[in-house]
Structure formats: C-alpha cells, structure tokens
Amino acid sequence: MNQLHEASGRLVKMPATPDQPVSYRLRVGDQELPLNELMGQTIEIAYSGEIRCIHCNRKTSKSFNQGYCYPCFKRLAACDTCIMSPEKCHYHLGTCREPEWGETHCMTGHVVYLANSSGLKVGITRASQVPTRWIDQGAVAAIPMLRVATRYLAGLVEVACKQHVADRTNWRTMLKGEAPALDLVAERTGLLDRIAPDLDRLASEHGPRSIEVADDPAWQLDYPVAAWPQKIKTHNLDKEPVATGVLQGIKGQYLMLDTGVINIRKYTAYDVRVRVLSE
C-alpha cells in the first residue's frame, strides 16, 4: 500500500465546519488532515504511549477531563464540577478557581437548545459555540430555545427542562444513524409551555432581561457517512495502541472505521502517529 499522508503529534478535538455535509479535519500536532477527502481510505492511528497535558504540557500517565494532567485538573476552572453541572456554578459566591476565566466563559451569554442526536435532548452552550456544540454531539437537527445571561442561569433552566426532556445523547444510537424525525419548532413550543412557571420564577430572581425566548428556525446537519455501523465496536488505544481501518464515516467526534469506531475527543493529548494509506 502506498503511503498518502502521515502526521505525528498530540491529538485534539476535530475541528469542523457546518457545510453540507459537515467538513472535518483531524488535527495532529501542528498538522491537519482533511478527513472528508479521505473517505474510503485506510487510516492507521498509532498511540506512542505518551500523554502531555493540553494546558501545561506536563507528561502524565493518565488523561483527566479529556486532556489534562492531575494538577491542572484540580486547579483549573475548566475542570471544575460546575462545568459538567452548570447549576452548581459558584462564581457569584466569589469562589471561582479562576475568576477571569469565569468572566469570559461563564458570565457571558448562553443558549439553551433542543437537539436531535439520538432523540430529543436539551442542552446548553455558549452563544459563540453555535453550531459547533451540536456538531460535536452528532445532532442531525437543533434549535435555540432560550438565550440567557450566564452559564449559571442556563444550568438552572436546564434543570427545569430535564423534568420533561432527556439531557444526554445515546451515542450508540447516534452512530447508527437511528435518530427519529422530530418537529423541533413544535417541541420547543411545548417545552416552553411546560416550564413557563420556572422561567417566570427565574426571571423574577435574575431580572426580566436575563432570559429571552428564541424564535430561530431549526438547523439541519448532515454528516459524511458512506456506511452506518450495524454493530458498534470501539477502538481503545489504551488497550490496543494501534487502530486501523477503512474510513466509512465521521459524526460527532467519532471516526467510523470498518473495524470499529474511535472517539477522537476521548484521546485528546495522546501522542499519536496517523498514517493514511491507499486501499
């Protein structure tokens, strides 16, 4: 087989552009491989055994929170528990690990949205991360529901929504392309009606301008997939350091190879060599 491309370095989350279909690049160190152009080619990802923290570059035997060493995991605001549970944000209590980071990432406008990745789900993201967040989750459709003033407020709204709608993606269903057809405009209207008392309470506590109902149309997203996996098998670089297979699709942060799927985001900070080979 003739070698077409090779790149070595630290792996990071795949950048993506919301084209039709979504356009992906695989970033390895300082290099990027244009993945959509490589559909049908054989890809080899070989893990060297080294992990370096994406913040301080310290060598670490284990990746914490997708790419951090343990000291950074314990110290950085980006790794605090409130990132996964934004309703637990404690910036307003004066106990944020990094107040300046909190001001730029948390004390800024957020979007509460509905998405269809494996079925209806609610989620939140910074306004600047639309539609990147939806692509990372493999959503085939998404729609803004509310615009709110802070991440903390977005978390409180999400808690109210979770009484009626799931907040997680079934990644196996997402990778099989089995998301049901949904009318997200109608779902948004129905959920807003159900959480109206919660929104009134939160607006009275945080100010009437802190929550704004969105009327945007739904986004439709298409992914470069030639063949959906019938059975989900995962590549685990910690157990088998070399993953090889024909690239059949890309969705969310997953590469779909004919030998199994691999979650690129899971291996952020792993030092790898990627080779793209002809069939």
What tens digit of pLDDT does each residue of 23-70 get?
999 999 999 999 999 999 999 999 999 999 999 999 999 999 999 999
What are the beta bridge partners of residue 123?
113
Sign of CA dihedral 274, 30, 59, 72: negative
| Helix residue ranges, H only, 41-150 | 70-75, 81-84, 99-105, 132-136
pLDDT at 2: 43
Dist CA 32 CA 29 (whole Å): 8
pLDDT grade for 263, boundaries at 50, 70 and 90: very high
* Whether residue 239 has pLDDT greater than 80: yes
User: What percent of the chain is predicted at pLDDT more than 70?
Assistant: 98
pLDDT in tens, 147-201: 999 999 999 999 999 999 999 999 999 999 999 999 999 999 999 999 999 999 9
What percent of the chain stands above pLDDT 90?
Answer: 96
H/E/C letters for each residue in 127-142?
A: HHHCCHHHHHCCCCEE
Cα gap 39→33, rounded to integer Å = 12
Average pLDDT for 113-140: 97
